[in-house]
Amino acid sequence: MSPGAWSGSLFLGDEMAEFAGKHVQDSRVEMTEIVMPNDANPLGTIFGGRVMQLMDIAASIAGFRHARCNVVTLSVDSLEFSRPIRVGDAVMLHAWLNWTGRTSMEVQVEVYSEDLITGERARTSTAYFTFVAVDPQGQPRQVPPLLPLTVDEERRYQQAAQRRAERLQRKEREEN
């Protein structure tokens, strides 16, 4: 059976269905905030740390929704702030799973700004978060496999698998 042929929950009990796999859409997150003066630097644009916090929140909600247990942030990479976001603008965050391993997940987060007066929107940041699902003792625990459905989801899955291999190679190099 192809991995995307069914979502499982139609045929199995909830627990078994979880481990048959889940789709990207099942855990996708969309969040909107407004930039307040206390989020801003002296230039009147949002602090990078505040954007990182919002990204971590959006990404972790996607991880929680997929794993349905506690998840912790293991790493963040390719984080870029390509445009400033001004006080009074809306910040929109989109987060979705690209890939799952046995206990880890890659979540992609994209951030957009919206000028609420003109409606102009721009992508301002993107990053890849790795989360690990943990049990109550903080030990890694298994997550349901991600089942890519569309051509784009399959492409993102393959690219994420490649990035994960590179992360592990980098970790090994740095440890030796």
The encoded tokens of residue 125 equal: 């940041």
CB of 99 to ligand COA, least distance (A): 9
Residue 63 is inside which H or E element, if any? helix 48-67
Cβ closer to ligand COA: 72 or 116? 72
Cβ closer to ligand COA: 58 or 92? 58
* Residue 119 to residue 126: CA distance in whole angstroms: 21
The percent helix, strand, coil of the chain (3-state, each to 5) is 35, 35, 35
CB of 81 to ligand COA, least distance (A): 21
State which residue has the least CB distance to ligand COA.
101
Cβ atoms 74, 131 nearer than 8 A:
yes
Place of tokens 């139609």: 10
The radius of gyration of the chain's CA atoms, rounded to the nearest angstrom, is: 18
Count the neighbouring beta carbons within 10 Å of the beta carbon of residue 63.
30
CB of 58 to ligand COA, least distance (A): 14
CB of 113 to ligand COA, least distance (A): 26
Q: Which residues bind ligand COA (CB under 6 A)?
A: 72-75, 101-104, 130, 132, 134, 138, 140, 164, 167-168, 171
Query: Diameter of the chain by CA atoms?
Result: 57
Cβ closer to ligand COA: 69 or 122? 69
Cβ closer to ligand COA: 35 or 58? 58
Cβ closer to ligand COA: 113 or 130? 130
Q: Which residues pair with 134 in a beta bridge?
A: 140
CB of 95 to ligand COA, least distance (A): 15
